[in-house]
Amino acid sequence: MKKLIFCFSLVCAGLMPSCIDKNELVDEDSRPDWLGASIYDELQSKSSRLLQGDFTTYLKLIDDLGYTETMKRTGSKTVFPANDEAFAKFFESEPWPGVHSYNDLSMAQKKILLYSSMLDNALLVNMLSNASSTSSVEPGMAVKHLSALNAIDSVTYYNMPGINEFKGNPYWSRFDKTGVNVVSDATTQMIVHFTRDYMLNNSITTAGDKSDFSLLTGGEYTGSDAYIFDKRIIVPDITCQNGYIHQVDNVVVSPGNMAQMLKKMDRCSIFSHMLDRFAVPVYNGAVTNKFHDWYHEQEAAGNNMAGIINPDSIFEVRYLSALSQGALAFNSDPNGRPVASNTLLTFDPGWNEYYRAAASNTTVETVLNEIGAMFVPTDEAMKDYFVRGGGKPILDRYKFKENTDENVIENVDSIPMHVTAALLSNLMKVSFADNVPSKFPSMIDDAADHMDMELSYISKKADGKYDINIANNGVVYVLDKVVGPKKYVAVSAPTMFSTDLKVVDWIISNQSVTKDNKDNPYSLDLDFYAYLLAMSANYALFMPNDAAFDLYYVDPASLAYDEDENGNKTYLNVPKVMHYYPLEKDPFIGASMFRYNPETHEIGDSIGALDLTKNMAVVKAQLSDIINYHTVVLNSGERLGSNTFYKTKHGGEIMVSGGSMDNDQLGAKVMSGSQIDNGVAPAVVKTPYDMENGHTYIVDHLIQGPRNSVYSFLRHTPEFKEFYELCNGFVPEILEWAGISSNPDPETQIRPIDRFKVFYRPGEYEDTESKKDRCIDNNIKMFNSYNYTVYVPNNEAMAEAYGKGLPTWDEINRLYEIDEENTGQGMPSDEKAKEKAYNMIDAIRRFIRYHFQNNSVYADNTVERGNFSTFLTDSKDRNMTINVDGGNGKLLVTDASGMTHTINAGGSNVNKMAREFDFDKNASEATYMKSSSFAAVHEISQPLYYNVEKSFGVNATANAKQNKGFRK
């Protein structure tokens, strides 16, 4: 009785997704009707029950490559053969230069034809889309499987520098004299398949001539079709003793990966050439040794090896990218040195086994589940883009020759790598399934915005079908239009086009995670690059050039001081400035410190370099402050110059003067508090750019924020003397005597005394000295990392307030002194005096708090209007408001009594900019600011009244009803 050897998995094909190498003996006489002969015999049989046509060409491939016994007896294979008629048409098309018949094929070409149509396991068609783990099978997940092709089958000798794709790539220049043997990729080439379950699972449309399926394959979907690349399986599931046969309508030839495919597409040579600028030769010892072993085996077998070189070294072509082999970033040059993250492609287009997450035996086989997508413009589209379209400013900036159609392919080599990466990466999508034609409306670009991709952009071939090509690791859509990245047209774009904006480029490009999704140790936690790509915004972005950083950033954490009664300052720390500068290697930015004289602005001796690894908190605080201070969000359609004062992204203030909208603010001075009040040189606009989401202004100095606090303004402005003394009169000893406790409430943990204080020093209740006194001088107790307005009644206005019943500290202090004298003589404390004092203190508190407002407003051409909350609450614990209006250089502030106070921009104590800090440690040890608050300070000539009675006495009330409809 004859025994048959066949794969055990075929018996339980409904249970297992692929064949295991377990052979079982079965009586030939008891062979079931559905079980054919071996794969080889079934292809050879003229009386095959299902196969269509003869397969002599395919069988000859098997014989010539020594695979006959394997296909006759053992193993577990799946093959996708085409019949002789399909092969005849294939040879008529001259698939390779000079190949017109089988006899013209080289051994390497024969390997491609056989091994790219073969899987090393046994799969039914309905199992192709299954992806398995140790515990389950997930249907509809897989879009590809490993072919039988081996990396050594594709070893190619490049005679450098004649290989155009690597021309101008410095990584390859060392092979100019010797040439180099390479494999395109050392991972296994894949066979891509489209099955019903996969398309259903991924919402890939199949109905109609414009369905995703028909556009991708050029054929109509019948409801059960399966395709190998774009070849239809016409006879599926021929079950053999050692595997399956699935006959296809045309010859399956591995198209190679996307990078290889593009090299064969003459009409996409410019894009392919730009892509190859990111190609890096990497020595591959495993491939080299495997090729040596194969070569010696062939010699030992007596095969003729004439003309076949056995190279000493074989290199692999890798592409600098955020996603490459092992689902990791490939971000090193041939010497192992890291390259900047913004010079990486989205993924490695030459990686055969493309996937986004590492495969694991406990999870679904992600290696089978994903392929990428690339949207590749034709050469004509690229020429139109760079010579006449949106890319013209780029090539005009970097061109090597005149910017003409003929010179584009040479000129693009002059574009810096990070600029090129932005264009290419925008056209590379990590998920094919998420970016099929039916999903074009939801495609996302580099700005995480709609990409505006359209089916009409896809080029058509001579037969009228869309030019869509399926590679072994993705799909290539050929476009008649370049869809450029938002990075090229956003306000951040000048960093890409300039060589002297490296520091600000580092700040903007800085991301929370690296390209390979690891935590960035040098993260600023801003992700500003994405913020500035918002195309619906209208930014005014000030970019300091590298020379501006050479002129230093004044470190506010080093400026704390004590001041005596005569105004003499003693600095508690070492005042210093920071110098940030670009580096050529990771982290690509450096910092050093110098002594600084805050009074003369002189720069002293070096204090030393700042170790970024140990001091990222300092760098983060300073660089975040810088970029926020240089970013203004304007209203839709607004132009810089329509106003003088602007609020920055983080609530700070700047003043712009001396420019004009007609000249796009060229030469305008841009200043903040340190430049207005402390003698620091202004930033001057040197180059303006009109971008799609606003304007960018290159400036020659850093915009330096205020170093004066509200406390400092009040203390040092003679006109504010009375209000300063009122705010400074909340002495804890007096407050506690009046019954205002400094102990925290057991439930709320709020100290009653803090509801009265105006000035304080952060950390005043800390037990550790290093955590106390974390500010420059004194802060406002009510402020909390926001922006505010302080309306300061001048001395005349304070006289009016006192005339309206506002108590004085002298009166309160006299009550205290009398009570102290009496108790010192053994008399009981006067509780009525304490109650009276409490009411007087509360009246002062109410008066002061009504003059502090949320939101900074400035007297300007256009004013932020509305009702703004003050820090005074009414009897129902609701914040009292004041109304702000104005324009044409005036601020009109209407209080609860209905009185309107006019603030003119020309006043000497109007539109003052103040800032208050909370540092990481006390003033003598502080290294960076933890947080800050901003305030606009305005002098007013009459007090703000919070009631219609215009009274500030102890019986004055603050009623909510008087806050409605009070405008005259």
Residue 34 has pLDDT above 70, yes or no: no
Model confidence over 584-637: pLDDT tens digits?
A: 888 889 999 999 999 999 999 999 999 999 999 999 999 999 999 999 999 999
- 534 and 494 together in one domain: no
Is 217 contained in some domain?
A: no
Model confidence over 600-614: pLDDT tens digits?
A: 999 999 999 999 999
Tell me the C-alpha distance between 297 and 152, whole Å. 14
Is 739 contained in some domain?
A: no
Place of tokens 């006067």: 830
Tell me the C-alpha distance between 483 and 463, whole Å. 25
Please report the pLDDT score of residue 358 as a whole number. Answer: 55
- 544 and 669 together in one domain: yes
Name the CA dihedral angle for 510, 512, 517, 520, rounded to a multiple of 10 degrees.
80
Q: What angle do CA 906, 907, 912 make, to 5 degrees?
A: 100
- 466 and 527 together in one domain: no
Residue 361 has pLDDT above 90, yes or no: no
CATH number at residue 74: 2.30.180.10
Helices (H), 717-830: 721-727, 732-737, 795-803, 809-824
Is 9 contained in some domain?
A: yes
Burial label for 221, CB within 10 Å (0-12, 13-18, 19+), is: buried
Q: What angle do CA 687, 689, 693 make, to 5 degrees?
A: 150
Tell me the C-alpha distance between 712 and 912, whole Å. 11
Please report the pLDDT score of residue 872 as a whole number. Answer: 96
Comparing 133 with 833, which gets the higher pLDDT? 833
Question: Rounded to two decimals, what is the model's pTM?
Answer: 0.76
Are 525 and 513 a contacting pair, CB within 8 Å?
A: no
Q: Quickly list DSSP for 842-856.
A: HHHHHHHHTTEEES-
Residue 768 has pLDDT above 70, yes or no: yes
Burial label for 842, CB within 10 Å (0-12, 13-18, 19+), is: middle
- The identity of residue 571, as a single letter, is Y
Q: How far is CA 294 from CA 282, 298, 301, 308, in A?
A: 21, 6, 11, 12
Strand partners of residue 887: 890
**Residue 840, both tokens:** 């007087």
Are 600 and 908 a contacting pair, CB within 8 Å?
A: no
- 456 and 565 together in one domain: no
- The count of residues in the chain is 968
Is 335 contained in some domain?
A: no
Q: Is 882 helix (H, G, I), strand (E, B) or coil?
A: strand
- 652 and 723 together in one domain: no
Tell me the C-alpha distance between 330 and 317, whole Å. 12
Please report the pLDDT score of residue 131 as a whole number. Answer: 83
Neighbours of 876 (CB within 10 A): 8
Strand partners of residue 866: 884
Is 195 contained in some domain?
A: no
Among 28-32, 36-40, 641-645, the range of highest mean pLDDT: 641-645
Among 131-140, 154-163, 873-882, the range of highest mean pLDDT: 873-882
Is 933 contained in some domain?
A: yes
Neighbours of 566 (CB within 10 A): 5
**Residue 884, both tokens:** 């702000």
Q: Is 460 helix (H, G, I), strand (E, B) or coil?
A: strand
Which of 74-83, 152-161, 217-226, 334-343 has the lowest average pLDDT?
152-161
Give the mean pLDDT of 539-545.
97
Q: What is the 3-state secondary structure (H, E, C) of 273-320?
A: HHHHHHEEEEECHHHHHHHHHHHHHHHHCCCCCCCCCCCCCEEEEEEC
- 637 and 719 together in one domain: no
Of 217, 250, 283, the one marking the end of a domain is 250
Please report the pLDDT score of residue 952 as a whole number. Answer: 95
Is 186 contained in some domain?
A: no
Of 474, 503, 532, the one marking the end of a domain is 503
Q: Quickly list DSSP for 213-233.
A: HHHHHSS---SS--EETTEEE
The domain containing residue 102 runs over which residues? 1-130+232-250
Q: How far is CA 485 from CA 276, 323, 533, 800, in A?
A: 19, 19, 10, 62
- 581 and 539 together in one domain: yes
Model confidence over 301-329: pLDDT tens digits?
A: 888 877 788 889 999 999 999 999 989 99
Minimal CA–CA distance to 317: which of 472, 144, 172?
A: 172
pLDDT band at 747 (very low <50, low <70, confident <90, very high): confident
- 579 and 723 together in one domain: no
pLDDT band at 168 (very low <50, low <70, confident <90, very high): confident
Model confidence over 394-409: pLDDT tens digits?
A: 888 888 899 999 999 8
- The identity of residue 851, as a single letter, is H
Residue 543 has pLDDT above 90, yes or no: yes
- The identity of residue 76, as a single letter, is S
Tell me the C-alpha distance between 580 and 628, whole Å. 16
- The identity of residue 88, as a single letter, is A
Model confidence over 428-471: pLDDT tens digits?
A: 999 999 999 999 999 988 888 888 899 999 999 999 999 999 99
% of the chain residues with pLDDT over 90: 70
**Residue 335, both tokens:** 């010497």
Model confidence over 912-948: pLDDT tens digits?
A: 999 999 999 999 999 999 999 999 999 999 999 999 9
Burial label for 433, CB within 10 Å (0-12, 13-18, 19+), is: buried
Residue 140 has pLDDT above 80, yes or no: yes
- 550 and 673 together in one domain: yes
- 527 and 600 together in one domain: yes
- 554 and 685 together in one domain: yes
**Residue 508, both tokens:** 């903007």
Comparing 963 with 384, which gets the higher pLDDT? 384
Tell me the C-alpha distance between 360 and 364, whole Å. 7
**Residue 742, both tokens:** 């400094």
> What region, left, alpha or beta, does residue 140 occupy, with left being phi > 0 and alpha being psi -120 to 50 degrees?
left
Tell me the C-alpha distance between 387 and 395, whole Å. 8
Are 573 and 926 a contacting pair, CB within 8 Å?
A: yes
Cα first-last separation, the chain: 113
Tell me the C-alpha distance between 697 and 492, whole Å. 10
Please report the pLDDT score of residue 570 as a whole number. Answer: 93
Q: What is the 3-state secondary structure (H, E, C) of 472-541?
A: CCEEEEEECCCCCCHHHCCCCCHHHHCCCCHHHHHHHHCCCECCCCCECCCCCCCCHHHHCCCCCCCEEE
Tell me the C-alpha distance between 522 and 615, whole Å. 10
- 720 and 680 together in one domain: no
Q: How far is CA 208 from CA 212, 221, 561, in A?
A: 9, 8, 77
Q: Is 42 helix (H, G, I), strand (E, B) or coil?
A: helix
Domain count, the chain: 4
Is 189 contained in some domain?
A: no
Model confidence over 98-127: pLDDT tens digits?
A: 999 999 998 889 999 999 999 988 999 999
Strand partners of residue 937: 790, 912
